[in-house]
């Protein structure tokens, strides 16, 4: 079915194609499925697979899409059967300019290191994020690459991109450039865990970024750099064109963990700034980060509360529409005219049995209504509590009054709905009383 869909699309010179797969098993996309002279935009989105460390879309072989300019891959598995020679899917996409690969893994048949290569002569924008531990080495060879984003990758990165102008690196694994980046304008480096780094490798990376103008570093990488600089002779600053340097902490410790905080020594500051005395230096404090996180959390709390209240309102409206529709109780049967007056004993017994059957049916209806009413009432109370928990947390001042007013209104509406539920639970009880009265009447008639 997949081949027929793709054949149809490509036979009609399709230029944009988006494929989303929710298949729980592995679905292979071999070479012959992706040969198109017209396709310019392609997005493939897989899903989490039942197999460990795998996503449902398995991409094998090099694609031949000469017109393709934008490719976005999400939740995919790359198949490597080339015996540790590495794989490269994109070298024949000769016009590819924008490539994003997010949430991906490698499935290999050999025991060697897995090499994943992005080699393309015209690639301008590349984003690699959330690659898992099956990727040992990622190599990028892109002479025209301008913007590179690497985030949460579990692999070593070897980059050849001499024309790079913007770099965002948020990862704890090694990053190496084969050449200096002469055109680099902006770099944001966040190495939150330095287990794989030391002061020397950090200094070597900064040397490659020597032409950067706007540099952002996280404070945690300063500690190993400081230790390294303290062991060697004073080194000249690698940065001659720096206009702005920003240092910020990633981790904000509790007040009783102040001893874990990283301090920036004068020696490190001189190393970073002496080559560019006119650069603007910004040091973001732990307090500022904590306040920023607090505000972000407050906004998140407000959004979550708003979402819960909207869903709760929809649920109440549905419940109001459904109240009464769940009660299907037959009206008590009036005694037939032929049964009025003094009736034979067998007919009296028949009426008695019929009334007892009705009462058993009513009792079952009562049980169902009670169970349903209890479940729905507990659900209403639970949802109100969830909303209340969020409203008791930190909220933006501009949103607090509005959210609380909405919550009070929902509480009043919920109270009305619960009262209606309780009222309709009484309906079968009324029929019980009617049945008892009829039984008494029947008994009198028999006498």
Query: Which tens digit of pLDDT belongs to each residue from 166-183?
Result: 999 999 889 999 988 999
Segment 335-346 shows an average pLDDT of: 49
Which of 99-113, 307-321, 324-338 reaches the highest mean pLDDT?
307-321
Q: Quote the pLDDT of residue 145.
A: 97
Name the DSSP letter for residue 339: G
Angle formed at CA 75 by CA 145 and CA 111, multiple of 5 degrees: 85
Question: How confident is the model at residue 330, as a pLDDT?
Answer: 46
Helix or strand run (H / E) with residue 102: strand 98-108
Say if residues 365 and 327 touch (Cβ distance below 8 Å).
yes
Query: What is the phi/psi pair of residue 10, to 5°?
Result: -70, -30
What are the φ/ψ torsions at residue 307 (nearest 5 degrees)? -65, -45
Mean pLDDT for the stretch of residues 290-303: 90
- Mean of the pLDDT values across residues 252-274? 73
Measure the CA angle with vertex 374, ends 371 and 379; round to 5°.
Answer: 125
Question: Per residue in 93-107, pLDDT tens?
Answer: 899 999 999 988 877
Residue 258 — very low, low, confident or very high, per pLDDT cuts 50/70/90? low
Please tell me the number of Cα atoms within 13 Å of 178 on its side-chain side.
12
Band of the pLDDT at 255, cuts 50, 70, 90? low
Looking at residue 336, its pLDDT comes to: 45
Provide the strand spans (E) within 270-387.
280-283
Note the Cα 168 to chain centre separation in Å: 21
Mean of the pLDDT values across residues 193-216? 92
SS3 (DSSP) at 16: strand
Backbone phi and psi for residue 337, each to the nearest 5 degrees, phi listed first: -60, -35
Residues 268-295: what's their mean pLDDT? 89
61 vs 50, which has greater pLDDT?
Answer: 61
Whether the predicted pLDDT of 428 surpasses 60 = no
Q: At what angle do helices 286-322 and 397-425 cross, to 10 degrees?
A: 30
The distance in angstroms from the start CA to the end CA of the chain is 79
Separation of alpha carbons 172 and 249, rounded Å:
15
Identify the pLDDT of residue 186: 98
Task: Please check the confidence at residue 385 and state whether its pLDDT lies above 80.
Answer: yes
Question: Closest Cα partner for 375 from 305, 425, 321?
Answer: 425
- Give me the helix-helix angle, 222-231 and 199-208, nearest 10°: 100
Q: Residue 52 pLDDT > 60, yes or no?
A: no
Mean pLDDT score of the chain = 81
> What pLDDT sits at residue 89?
77
Residue % of the chain over a pLDDT of 70: 74
> Residue 201 — pLDDT band, cuts 50, 70, 90?
very high
Confidence of residue 358 (pLDDT cuts 50, 70, 90): low
Q: What average pLDDT does range 409-425 have in this prediction?
A: 85
Q: Classify 13 in phi/psi space as left (phi over 0), alpha (psi -120 to 50) or beta.
A: left
Beta strands in 137-213 (DSSP E): 137-141, 147-151, 156-160, 166-170, 175-177, 186-190
Bigger pLDDT: 365 vs 395: 395
Of 244, 238, 239, 247, which is closest to residue 280 (Cα–Cα)?
244
Structure token digits, residue 444: 């009198």
Query: What band does 24 get if pLDDT is binned at 50, 70 and 90?
Result: low
List the beta bridge partners of residue 246.
216, 282
Among 374, 363, 381, which Cα is nearest to 429's? 363
**C-beta neighbour count of 140 within 10 angstroms:** 24
| pTM listed for this prediction | 0.69
Q: Confidence band (pLDDT; 50, 70, 90) for 264?
A: confident
Give pLDDT, residue 196.
Answer: 86
The arithmetic mean of pLDDT across residues 428-436, rounded, is 55
């Amino acid at each position: 079915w997949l081949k027929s869909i793709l054949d149809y699309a490509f036979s009609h010179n399709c230029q944009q194609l988006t494929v989303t797969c929710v298949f729980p098993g592995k679905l292979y996309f071999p070479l012959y499925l992706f040969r198109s002279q017209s396709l310019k935009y392609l997005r493939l989105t897989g899903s989490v697979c039942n197999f460990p460390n795998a996503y449902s879309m398995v991409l094998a072989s090099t694609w031949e899409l000469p017109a393709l300019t934008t490719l976005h891959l999400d939740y995919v598995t790359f198949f490597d059967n080339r015996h540790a020679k590495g794989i490269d899917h994109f070298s024949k996409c000769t016009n590819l300019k924008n490539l994003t690969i997010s949430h991906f893994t490698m499935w290999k048949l050999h025991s060697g290191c897995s090499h994943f290569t992005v080699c393309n002569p015209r690639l301008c924008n590349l984003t690699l994020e959330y690659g898992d531990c099956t990727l040992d080495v990622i190599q990028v060879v892109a002479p025209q690459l301008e913007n590179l984003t690497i985030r949460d990758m579990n692999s070593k990165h070897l980059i050849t991109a001499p024309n790079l102008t913007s770099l965002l690196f948020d990862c704890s694994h090694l990053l190496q450039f084969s050449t200096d980046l002469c055109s680099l304008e902006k770099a944001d480096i966040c190495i939150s865990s330095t287990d794989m780094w030391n002061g020397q490798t950090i200094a070597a990376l900064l040397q490659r970024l020597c032409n950067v103008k706007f540099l952002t570093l996280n404070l945690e990488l300063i500690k190993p750099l400081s230790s390294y600089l303290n062991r060697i002779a004073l080194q000249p600053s690698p940065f001659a064109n720096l206009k702005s340097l920003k240092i910020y902490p990633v981790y904000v410790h509790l007040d009783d963990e102040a001893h874990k905080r990283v301090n920036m020594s004068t020696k490190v500051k001189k190393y970073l700034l002496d080559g560019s005395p006119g650069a603007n230096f910004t040091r973001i404090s732990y307090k500022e980060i904590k306040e920023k996180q607090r505000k972000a959390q407050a906004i998140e709390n407000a959004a979550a509360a708003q979402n819960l209240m909207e869903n709760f309102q929809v649920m109440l409206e549905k419940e109001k529409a459904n109240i009464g529709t769940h009660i299907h109780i037959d009206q008590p049967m009036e005694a037939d005219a032929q049964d009025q007056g003094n009736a034979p004993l067998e007919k009296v017994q028949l009426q008695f049995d019929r009334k007892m059957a009705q009462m058993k049916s009513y009792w079952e209806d009562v049980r169902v209504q009670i169970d349903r009413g209890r479940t729905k009432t507990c659900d209403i109370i639970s949802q109100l509590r969830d909303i209340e928990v969020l409203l008791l947390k930190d909220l933006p001042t501009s949103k607090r009054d509005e959210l609380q007013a909405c919550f009070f209104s929902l509480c009043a509406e919920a109270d009305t709905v619960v009262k209606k539920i309780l009222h309709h639970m009484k309906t079968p009880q009324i029929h019980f009383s009617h049945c008892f009265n009829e039984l008494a009447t029947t008994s009198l008639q028999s006498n």
